[in-house]
Amino acid sequence: MKVRSFKTAATELLRQAGVTVDGPEPWDIQVNDEHFYSRGMLNGALGLGETYMDGLWDVARLDDMIARLLDARLNYRVRPWVVRLGELRMRLANLQTPDRAVEVAEIHYNLNNTFYRAMLGKTMAYSCGYWKNADSLDEAQHHKLELICQKLGLEPGMRVLDIGCGWGSFARYAAERHGVDVVGINISTEQIEFAQEHCKGLPVEIRWQDYRDVKGSFDRIVSVGMFEHVGHKNYRQFMEIARQCLKPDGLFLLHTIGSPTTGVNSDPWMEKYIFPNSELPSLRQMSRACEGHFVVEDIHSFGADYDPTLMAWFENFKAAWPRFEAEFGERFYRMWKYYLLACAASFRVRQMQVWQFVLSPHGVVRGYRRPDM
């Protein structure tokens, strides 16, 4: 296909999404280099992100533009061989084995803790906030943490396992506010170092440990924003291990991003540059993974709340960028801008979801009631 043909095809696809090349609207794309057309058409979603990182195009409102492309379902209509090859790789191989699982920690979570602190705010919670009665990012994250504690019915003296504990935001909150003992496991050395200091003086133990190696008995289990790294070939094993560690009368809260469709749910650009080996579960996959291990007591969907969470992170990131520009460089800035705003767009048009599951081994006597928050 000639360059002119690539340009014609790309321009027409963008037009179908309400995006005009070099147009006047804030969501209209401004092309800086015509190689954008061939790379975008040949590599689809991967090429769109890479050409933005390389400065081949700009747009005033990146989130609005991506939302329009997703709403027109161009990500499903433009699926070149490089995207299909990546999907085939995920179907055939287990990309989340213990050896491969550490890749996302090394590439993403082991970035500068100071950088994450500037972006995430006081709580250091790196998952969707709960904005029902919140006016700020910190307030939304506090409400999310309290919501989890209320759903689990935490009581002083309980022993809680936090699978994928991040920077220790839940562990610290639950120990301080609800008097529980927490064991947090993680495979990111930077997060572990921060979490240990963050939770110093509290009944919290932070371990370097893969979830497949966990042993012990716990009153409650929580996992927030980690299941996206488990992979469909390991969903059943994850649930089996959680069930083995949970007391018969215990509760397990699982908070995850999810996909409205069943399949290989991983954006090729995001998987390559942001979250290696990541994969989003569907409700069907979650249900099958739970069968025989857990009763599903409650499913709470509030994925629309991730849009304002990501936009708040982006504003923090943009404000703090002068402190990190020399360390990371312009391409990193464009990569993270694309990551945060493209994700916000995806939640905005509901192509990604957020679910909180409350699971029990045998079913709660007289039924489970979700707290009113």
Q: Which residues are catalytic?
A: 343
Of the candidates 345, 337, 334, the one whose C-alpha atom is nearest the C-alpha of residue 317 is 337
Long-range pairs of 278-284 with CB within 8 A, sequence gap ≥ 24: 278/104, 278/228, 278/229, 279/90, 279/95, 279/96, 279/228, 279/229, 279/230, 279/231, 279/232, 280/228, 280/256, 280/352, 281/227, 281/228, 281/232, 281/235, 281/256, 282/258, 283/258, 283/355
> Radius of gyration over alpha carbons of the chain, in Å?
21
Instruction: Please count the CA atoms within 13 angstroms of the CA of 120 that sit on its side-chain side.
Output: 20
- Gap between the Cα atoms of 138 and 56, Å rounded: 36
Q: If you search the block for the tokens 């007391």, which residue do you land on?
A: 247
Helix (H/G/I), strand (E/B), else coil: 219: strand
Q: Say if residue 120 is exposed, middle or buried (CB neighbours under 10 Å; 0-12, 13-18, 19+).
A: buried
**Residues in Cβ contact with 200 at an 8 Å cutoff, skipping those fewer than 6 apart:** none
Query: What is the CA 300 to chain-centroid distance, rounded?
Result: 16
Q: If you search the block for the tokens 């179908």, which residue do you land on?
A: 16
Sheet containing strand 246-258, edge to edge, reads 204-208, 181-186, 159-163, 218-224, 246-258, 353-360, 295-301
CB atoms within 10 A of CB 82: 14
Residue 122 contacts residue 349 (beta carbons within 8 Å): no
Residue 129 contacts residue 308 (beta carbons within 8 Å): yes
Residue 306 contacts residue 354 (beta carbons within 8 Å): yes
Structure letter (DSSP) for residue 184: E
